[in-house]
């Protein structure tokens, strides 16, 4: 294959979705005889980018419109003011962004990257694509039509060589890996993690429930002791790799007819489904494509053809899978004639992703230790089927003395350089986790200008770390303001953190404007962050004398200056 038919796909991901999308794009590019290199943006030498002729960028969105942590160093380099405006004049590029319209800044990093590359002289191959988690088909709703657009643009850019033909759909692509028989299985799950950067051996010290026993939600306070002198900052993230319960693995292997019935317990296949691939996930649309490739039953094949057809097929697939959150395990029970070859495991099944949890402690206060505040995920689907989060179930079953490897990732929080600069923290629910790390460190360093707005449903049932906050307040190290939405008389309006901030509008204005306070917002990304910023805008308008439009710009400027920081998730 000639060099002219090669392209580079750089992805920036937080949880692995952008990597999955990149692999999907690469498979489709092979259909038109393009060879794609798929590389994480933090593993690619950015200085080499000027020599690339054809580059696709796949960029996730994290927080409230921020780039993934893996992209930050590259993005900062691209923003340098001394870069010439013709730096990438020989580059043709395309960008696909992953986001969620529930967030205020949808696909913001992808949009910013696209604009920056154009200002540096690059040429856009085709219109930027955007995948929305809120779509009926999730990210695939925007990805699949964009891939068609991309392939057409690639063929215009580099027509197929003589003697080459486009590989039609639904031809089965070659597998990504080759599996060979192994002498034995490696049961040490920790071993691969031991050699990864910034992973550390930990021992569970405490794993206790901090919500009331009769409360609907189980929230855990987890304490992990480390063998080495770990270092982290407020807002940093702990990364935990889960393993599903062995009984769940047994159940999957027993019911999955694609695997040999005499599979021994120590086989490599068992390890794969225990350690590396996820059978409890709600799959993307591409999973059904692989089911169709390997279906051996006419009725099942017909149903899969309906799911994969445009128009009404997308609606049927949504009703069958996404609306009710049907898992891979349940789907394979329904389509039990499908025979997925072992060599296609890594193509058909998603990876078992690690999960990220904001650290809820300061290393200055708890040296050699990480503390976490984690809500255990349990719910019922619309089919009334019970669901448990793979990682939080794993965490809920950890006992004192258990060992695991934990990664540490840099977060988005920054502390004010002056310890007398006030901070205003908004952390409802488990969003209080990174806030706790920040306040602990501030108080340790002698700062007392700390305000916390905490919200939950009930003061007596789920007031996470309530005794700590009250103790700090009694010693005048913290102003503690609360909103318990269900602790109000029946028939009256529920109170949330943004309502309490509005009550304190005059104090908020004085802190933000006269004292230069920094604001931290942490928690669910649904309506809370926008409502909190609106409450701050209201304070700026009412007590600062700003017009509504100027109040909005005032708060936006706080974000641009780094004085308003969000750590929110969906």
pLDDT in tens, 172-221: 877 877 777 666 555 454 456 766 778 999 999 999 999 999 999 999 99
Rounded to whole angstroms, the Cα distance separating 129 from 290 reads 24
* Interval 509-520 mean pLDDT: 97
* Interval 371-377 mean pLDDT: 96
Structure tokens at 248: 């769940």
Which of 9-23, 254-268, 446-460, 534-548 shows the lowest mean pLDDT across its residues?
A: 254-268
pLDDT, residue 250, reads 80
Residue 3 pLDDT greater than 70, yes or no: no
In the chain, residues under CATH classification 3.40.50.360 are 6-157
Give pLDDT tens digits for 175-189: 877 777 666 555 454
| Cβ within 8 Å of residue 329, ≥6 positions away | 251, 252, 255, 256, 279, 280
* Interval 542-562 mean pLDDT: 95
Q: Which CATH number fits domain 195-242+354-409: 3.30.565.10, 3.30.70.240, 2.40.30.10, 3.40.50.2000?
A: 2.40.30.10
Confidence of residue 385 (pLDDT cuts 50, 70, 90): confident
Q: Residue 124: name the closest of 88, 87, 89, 92 by CA.
A: 92
Rounded to whole angstroms, the Cα distance separating 186 from 248 reads 20
CA within 13 Å, CB half, 343: 10
Residues flagged as binding site for FAD? 355-358, 389-392, 569
Residue 408 pLDDT greater than 50, yes or no: yes
Residue 452 pLDDT greater than 50, yes or no: yes
Residue 48 pLDDT greater than 70, yes or no: yes
pLDDT, residue 191, reads 56
**φ, ψ dihedrals at 472, nearest 5°:** -65, -40
Q: What is the DSSP letter of 372?
A: E
Residue 245 pLDDT greater than 90, yes or no: no
pLDDT, residue 570, reads 64
Whole-model pTM? 0.86
- CA angle centred on 462, ends 458 and 467, rounded to 5°: 105
Q: Which residue has the higher pLDDT, 308 or 272?
A: 308
Number of Cβ within a 10 Å radius of residue 255: 13
Residue 378 pLDDT greater than 50, yes or no: yes
Confidence of residue 164 (pLDDT cuts 50, 70, 90): confident
Rounded to whole angstroms, the Cα distance separating 318 from 313 reads 9
Q: What top-level class would CATH report for the domain 423-568? A: alpha beta
Give pLDDT tens digits for 261-282: 343 444 567 788 888 889 999 9
Topology (CATH) of 246-348:
NADPH-cytochrome p450 Reductase; Chain A, domain 3 (1.20.990)
Residue 428 pLDDT greater than 80, yes or no: yes
**φ, ψ dihedrals at 127, nearest 5°:** -60, 140
pLDDT, residue 183, reads 62
CA 309 to chain centre: 29
pLDDT, residue 128, reads 97
pLDDT, residue 490, reads 86
Which of 19-33, 378-392, 417-431 shows the lowest mean pLDDT across its residues?
A: 378-392
Residue 443 pLDDT greater than 60, yes or no: yes
pLDDT, residue 4, reads 65
* Interval 350-374 mean pLDDT: 94
* Interval 354-362 mean pLDDT: 94
Q: Which residue has the higher pLDDT, 494 or 192?
A: 494
In the chain, residues under CATH classification 3.40.50.80 are 423-568
Percent of the chain clearing pLDDT 70 (strictly above): 93
Residues flagged as binding site for FMN? 13-18, 60-63, 133
Q: What is the DSSP letter of 62?
A: B
Confidence of residue 35 (pLDDT cuts 50, 70, 90): confident
Residues flagged as binding site? 13-18, 60-63, 133, 355-358, 389-392, 430, 485-486, 494-498, 569
Q: Mean pLDDT across the chain, nearest whole number? A: 89
* Interval 287-292 mean pLDDT: 93
In the chain, residues under CATH classification 2.40.30.10 are 195-242+354-409
Tell me if the domain spanning 6-157 has CATH number 3.40.50.360: yes
Residues flagged as binding site for NADP(+)? 430, 485-486, 494-498
* Interval 524-549 mean pLDDT: 93
* Interval 8-16 mean pLDDT: 90
Give pLDDT tens digits for 56-91: 999 999 877 788 888 988 999 999 999 999 999 999
Q: What is the DSSP letter of 318?
A: I
Residues listed for the chain: 570
Residue 115 pLDDT greater than 80, yes or no: yes
């Amino acid at each position: 294959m000639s060099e002219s038919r090669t392209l580079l796909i750089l992805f920036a991901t937080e949880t692995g979705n952008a990597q999955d999308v990149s692999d999907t794009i690469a498979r489709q590019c092979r259909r038109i005889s393009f060879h794609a290199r798929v590389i994480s943006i933090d593993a690619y030498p950015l200085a080499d980018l000027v020599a690339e002729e054809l580059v696709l960028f796949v960029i996730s969105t994290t927080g409230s419109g921020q780039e993934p942590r893996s992209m930050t160093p590259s993005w900062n380099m691209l923003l340098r003011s001394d870069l010439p405006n013709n730096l990438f004049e020989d580059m043709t590029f395309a960008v696909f962004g992953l986001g969620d319209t529930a967030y205020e800044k949808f696909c913001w990093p992808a949009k910013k990257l696209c604009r920056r590359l154009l200002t540096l002289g690059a040429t856009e191959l085709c219109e930027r694509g955007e995948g929305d988690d809120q779509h009926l088909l999730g990210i695939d709703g925007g990805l699949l039509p964009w891939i068609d657009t991309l392939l057409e643009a690639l063929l215009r850019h580099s027509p197929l060589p003589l003697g080459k033909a486009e590989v039609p759909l639904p031809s089965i692509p070659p597998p990504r890996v080759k599996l060979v028989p192994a002498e034995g299985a490696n049961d040490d799950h920790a071993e691969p993690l031991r050699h990864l950067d910034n992973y550390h051996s930990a021992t569970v010290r405490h794993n206790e429930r901090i919500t009331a026993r009769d409360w609907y939600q189980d929230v855990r306070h987890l304490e992990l002791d480390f063998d080495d002198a770990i270092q982290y900052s407020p807002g940093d993230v702990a990364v935990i790799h889960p393993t599903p319960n062995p009984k769940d693995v047994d159940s999957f292997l027993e019911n999955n007819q694609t695997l040999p019935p005499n599979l021994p317990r120590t086989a490599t296949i068992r390890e794969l489904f225990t350690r590396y691939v996820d059978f409890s996930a709600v799959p993307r649309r591409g999973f059904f494509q692989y089911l169709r490739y390997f279906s051996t039953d006419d009725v099942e094949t017909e149903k899969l053809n309906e799911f994969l057809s445009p128009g009404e097929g997308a609606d049927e697939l949504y009703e069958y899978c996404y609306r009710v959150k049907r898992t891979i395990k349940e789907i394979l029970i329904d389509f039990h004639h499908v025979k997925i070859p072992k060599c296609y495991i890594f193509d058909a099944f998603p990876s078992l992703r690690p999960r990220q949890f904001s650290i809820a402690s300061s290393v200055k206060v708890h040296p050699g230790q990480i503390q976490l505040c984690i809500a255990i995920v349990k719910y019922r689907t619309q089919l009334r089927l019970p669901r448990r989060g793979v990682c939080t179930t794993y965490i809920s079953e950890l006992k004192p003395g258990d060992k695991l490897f934990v990664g540490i990732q840099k977060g988005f929080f920054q502390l004010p350089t002056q310890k007398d600069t006030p901070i205003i923290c908004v952390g409802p629910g488990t969003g209080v986790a990174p806030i706790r790390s920040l306040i602990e460190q501030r108080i340790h360093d002698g700062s007392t200008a700390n305000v916390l707005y905490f919200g939950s449903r009930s003061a007596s049932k789920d007031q996470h770390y309530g005794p700590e906050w009250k103790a700090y307040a009694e010693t005048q190290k913290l102003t503690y303001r609360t909103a318990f939405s269900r602790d109000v008389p029946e028939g009256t309006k529920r109170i949330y953190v943004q309502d309490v901030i509005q009550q304190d509008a005059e104090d908020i204005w004085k802190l933000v404007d006269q004292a230069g306070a920094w604001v931290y917002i942490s928690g669910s990304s649904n309506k809370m962050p926008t409502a909190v910023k609106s409450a701050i805008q209201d304070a700026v308008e009412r007590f600062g004398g700003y017009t509504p439009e100027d109040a909005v710009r005032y708060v936006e400027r706080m974000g641009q200056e780094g004085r308003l920081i969000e750590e929110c998730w969906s």
